Amino acid sequence: MKLCHSLVTLSVSPPYSSLSRHPKSLSSELPSHRVNVAESLHSETLKILEWPSVCTQLAAFTSTSMGLAAAQTARIPLGKCPDDSRRLLAQTSAAVDISQPLDFSGIEDVSAIVETSVAGEMLSTRELCSVQRTLRAIRALLEQLEDISAQNDLSKRASEELEIIRLERKGNMENLESTLKQVSARIFQAGGIDRPLVTKRRSRMCVAIRANRRSLLPGGVVLDTSSSGATYFMEPREAIELNNQEVRLMNSERLEEQAIMSLLTAETAQSERQIKYLLDRVLEVDLAFARAAHARWMNGVCPNFIAEGYENLENNALSVDIDGIKHPLLLESSLRKFSDFNKSSSSLSSDQESGITNSRIVSGAFSFPVPVDIKIGHEVKVVVISGPNTGGKTASMKTLGLASLMSKAGMYLPAENNPRFPWFDLVLADIGDHQILNEAEDLDGREAALKAKETQQIQQELEVVKTEIDAIVEEFGNQLRTTSRDQFNSLLKESESTIASIVEALQPSNDVEVEGSFHTPQLGEQVLVKGLGSKLATVVEAPADDNTVLVQYGKIRVRANTSSIKAPSDGKDAMSLVPLSRRKGWRTKNLKNLRSLSETRKDEEIPFGPAVQTSKNTIDLRGMRVGEATHHVSMAINERGSNSVLFIIHGMGTGVLKERVIQLLRDHPRIAKFEQESPMNYGCTIAYIK
């Protein structure tokens, strides 16, 4: 098994400690400035995609203090190249196949103790014992891994011939590696490669060389190509000599102890590299088994990276092919509820009634997140996701970004079948407006700060991102004028006149008197409804518990709040003397005569047209940026006639857009008042224009 083999071969220490450093995924060929920008964007992306939360998930499955610290601080290794990620995935797969748990007890992080010894300070007995316990525990862990490996391999003493074959193979591999190292060094000295590299392709060992220096290897065969990596006490006289002897012996003992501890400290300092290497390997094993336990917990599958050169795939081939993937953080909540249910259900009785109850609980107590299928053709460079708020766009893109990061880190994915996608050099994310609510005191300042941050973000991304690097950018489509939206607006305009004529035709022919006071309406009573422009309507349903009543105006039935209903008076209001028959042929929002009558009494409430929503008195701001939405609202208010209403659909979302709309309506001189469209609709606001 690859995992066991890579961990039991500890005779040669690597030139550096790979897991003690932050993982890098940036090319060393980039200029230093671009590298700094890319690292900054990459760090921001990890926060946006909530990568630290995923690592915290993994931390629950670690067994050592080193693994726990690495996962909790999001310092788990990310593959620097496809081979690194494949190696991490291979370790995870090997750990998944091992059903026997490993014993990590006794292993401590003695890195600080080793550093103390290197600094020349003498270690205490407690510290030396910690090093001893850790090394013994590591030896026991190594023996356990060797036993597991022996259970899957034939012993070399199984037959004499097998022993001979393995000895010959070992000698042959040593000769092969020696030869390839010499060749690779020669290529490096000749300028054919940046650093000597011996690797394996198509199950064959090979060396790396630049394409334009193939002549350095005449007769060589190309196996593969890359795409670019604290009172008196008195002493008796007769005891003086004995005490002196005790002092001498005590000093001698102390000197001997110091000599021994000094020797052990020196040996610890000399073994710094080996000890740290062992700790790194223990951390590597711990994280591999943590990834395996995490995979079992979420029933994950192993992802596959598309081989290099996938650009030459057929036109109908997919570069990203993921079925039924779930967001790991959303899945965590469901899995916890499911686990709690299993624990509680195990204590219930097993009779038939309990069984029926349990099945109902299973079907209704909790639900798993909706899986997402992600299919992207290999020739597609940009994918635009458009839709209403709370539609899952952000969650879907975060899921794709996390899938790429989890795969690079050697983690399984909560998906179905065999997910396949390229190994991305860099994943960048720019999700939404970032809601910069604390960077300025007023909305205008927030908007300016938002625009400045977005501009800087895009400039940095364009500086780093090239054609081979994918960036996840949400709400990219918000800046586009799509054809479908124009067609939709056209259809709304065509239906406008039809809606207005229907409202006009449904107006009753009897004269209406408009004056009264708020009261509790009775079934069948005729009342004046403020939301219908103080029109006379009939109560068709008794008032409900939520202080609303169903009224009918012509053939239109609407539910109105009792506070907006008046009883008709004797007709002292000049407006009540105007028969509706005189207004025959008016459009619903044509209120010129009503305005002239209402202006005779300044103390009276300004009458507005019926609050009937049409395409002409409605603007939809969903999907717009704050600045763009502000402009549209201002234009719409200026275009509306006096004593009219305006429906503003801003949605809920993050609340930034709604807050800006409310602020604009509060400060606008033409707005008499504004209110929520209905008690249950928080995404639409009605503005009453003077």
Residues 528, 548, single domain; the answer is: yes
User: Highest mean pLDDT: which of 28-42, 399-413, 506-520?
Assistant: 399-413
Q: Is residue 350 part of a domain?
A: yes
Please report the pLDDT score of residue 337 as a whole number: 61
Average the pLDDT over each of 24-28, 187-191, 637-641 and give the range with the smallest value. Answer: 24-28
pLDDT of residue 459: 60
> Whole-angstrom Cα distance, residue 234 to residue 90?
73
Position 644 scores a pLDDT of 84
Residues 494 and 607 reside in one and the same domain: yes
Question: What was the pLDDT predicted at 98?
Answer: 77
**Residue 70 domain-assigned?**
no
In the chain, the percentage of residues whose pLDDT exceeds 70 is: 58
- pLDDT greater than 50 at residue 475: no
Among 100-114, 411-425, 501-515, which is the least confidently predicted range? Answer: 501-515
C-alpha–C-alpha distance, residues 49 and 52, integer Å:
9
Q: Is residue 184 part of a domain?
A: no
Amino acid in the structure at residue 427: V
Q: How many domains does the chain have?
A: 3
pLDDT bucket at 582, cuts 50 / 70 / 90:
very low
Which residues have CB under 8 Å from 564's CB, separation 6+? 529, 530, 531
pLDDT of residue 446: 52
Segment 156-185 mean pLDDT:
66
Task: Write down the mean pLDDT value for the chain.
Answer: 68
Q: What is the per-residue pLDDT for 674?
A: 85
> Within this chain, do residues 498 and 601 fall inside the same structural domain, yes or no?
yes
Q: Do 552 and 638 fall within a single domain?
A: no
For 274-283, how does the pLDDT look when each residue is reduced to its tens digit (9 = 90+)?
777 877 887 7
- Name the DSSP letter for residue 377: E
pLDDT tens digits, one per residue of 367-416: 667 788 888 887 777 787 777 666 677 788 888 888 888 888 888 888 88
Half-sphere exposure of 230 (CA within 13 A, CB side): 0
Residue 318: alpha-carbon gap to chain centroid: 24
Poorest-confidence range of 59-63, 254-258, 625-629? Answer: 254-258
**Claim to verify: residue 487 and residue 534 sit in the same structural domain:** no
pLDDT at 584: 40
Please tell me the distance from the alpha carbon of residue 637 to that of residue 555, in angstroms, as a whole number: 30
- Average pLDDT for residues 547-565, to the nearest whole number? 79
| Interval 632-658: pLDDT, tens | 888 888 888 888 888 888 887 778 888
State the pLDDT at residue 234: 46
Q: Are 64 and 9 in contact (CB under 8 A)?
A: no
678 SS3 class: strand
Residues 541, 580, single domain; the answer is yes
Looking at the chain, the whole-number percentage of residues with pLDDT higher than 90 is 0
User: Which of the four pLDDT bands, split at 50, 70 and 90, describes residue 469?
Assistant: very low
Q: Does the pLDDT of residue 328 top 60, yes or no?
A: yes
More confident residue, 3 or 636: 636
Token representation of residue 181: 């190292």
At 218, the pLDDT band (50, 70, 90 cuts) reads confident
Using the predicted structure, report yes or no on whether residue 340 has a pLDDT greater than 70. Answer: no
What span, in angstroms and rounded, lies between the C-alpha atoms of 9 and 173? 15
Angle at CA of residue 196, ends 193 and 199, nearest 5°: 105
Q: What is the model's pLDDT at position 502?
A: 59
Q: What is the pLDDT of residues 95-128, one digit of tens each?
A: 887 777 777 888 888 888 888 878 888 778 788 8
pLDDT for residue 21: 37
What mean pLDDT is predicted for residues 333-347? Answer: 55
Fill in the amino acid letter for 267: E
Is the pLDDT score of 293 beyond 80?
yes
Q: Residue 448 has which token pair? A: 């300016």
Are 639 and 579 contained in the same domain?
no
Lowest average pLDDT, out of 32-41, 49-58, 636-645, goes to 32-41
User: Average pLDDT for residues 553-558, to the nearest whole number?
Assistant: 75
Band of residue 241 on the pLDDT scale cut at 50, 70, 90: low
Q: Is the pLDDT of residue 18 over 50?
A: no
Pull the structure tokens for residue 567: 């009883």
Separation of alpha carbons 515 and 527, rounded Å? 10
CA distance 376 to 597: 63
Q: What count of residues does the chain have? A: 690
Which phi-psi region, left, alpha or beta, contains residue 50 (left: φ > 0; alpha: ψ -120 to 50)? left
**Same-domain check for residues 608 and 487:** yes
Burial label for 189, CB within 10 Å (0-12, 13-18, 19+), is: exposed
- Contact 390/276 with Cβ under 8 angstroms? no
Q: Look at residues 347, 368, 389 and tell me which one is the last residue of a structural domain.
A: 368
107-111, 173-177, 398-402, 663-667: range with lowest mean pLDDT? 173-177
State whether 535 and 490 are in the same domain: no
* Domain endpoint, select from 326, 350, 368: 368
CA nearest neighbour of 649 among 609, 682, 689, 610: 682
Cα torsion at 41, 44, 49, 51 (round to 10°)? 110
Is 92's pLDDT higher than 70? yes
Q: How far, in whole angstroms, is CA 541 from its chain's centroid?
A: 48
Q: Output the DSSP codes for 19-45.
A: TTS----S-TTS-HHHHHHHHHHHHHH
In a domain, 668, yes or no: yes
The answer to the question of residue 268 being in a domain is no
According to the model, what pLDDT value does residue 186 have?
82
Contacts of 118 (CB under 8 A, 6+ apart): 269, 272
Q: Do residues 609 and 677 share a domain? A: yes
Q: Are residues 608 and 627 in the same domain?
A: yes
pLDDT number for residue 188: 86
Please give the pLDDT value at position 578.
38
CA–CA distance, 646 with 635 (Å, rounded to integer): 12
- Same-domain pairing of 554 and 606: no
Whether pTM > 0.85 for this model: the answer is no
CATH number of the domain residue 499 falls in = 3.30.1370.110
Residue 547 lies in a domain: yes
Query: Mean pLDDT across the stretch 575-596?
Result: 40
Please name the residues in contact with 405: beta carbons below 8 A apart, sequence gap of 6 or more. Answer: 46, 49, 51, 54, 78, 427
- For tokens 């022996």, name the residue: 150
Largest CA distance in the chain: 134
Most confident range, picked from 157-166, 486-495, 677-686: 677-686
Q: How far apart are CA 307 and CA 322, in angstroms?
A: 16
Look at residue 307 and tell me if it is in a domain: no
Residue 439's pLDDT is 39
Q: At which of 323, 344, 368 does a domain end?
A: 368
Domain that holds residue 355: 335-368
Mean pLDDT value across residues 574-593: 40
- Does any domain span residue 569? yes
Which tops the pLDDT comparison, 246 or 107? Answer: 107
Structure tokens belonging to residue 293 = 């336990």
Of 39-48, 186-195, 396-405, 605-614, which gets the smallest average pLDDT? Answer: 605-614
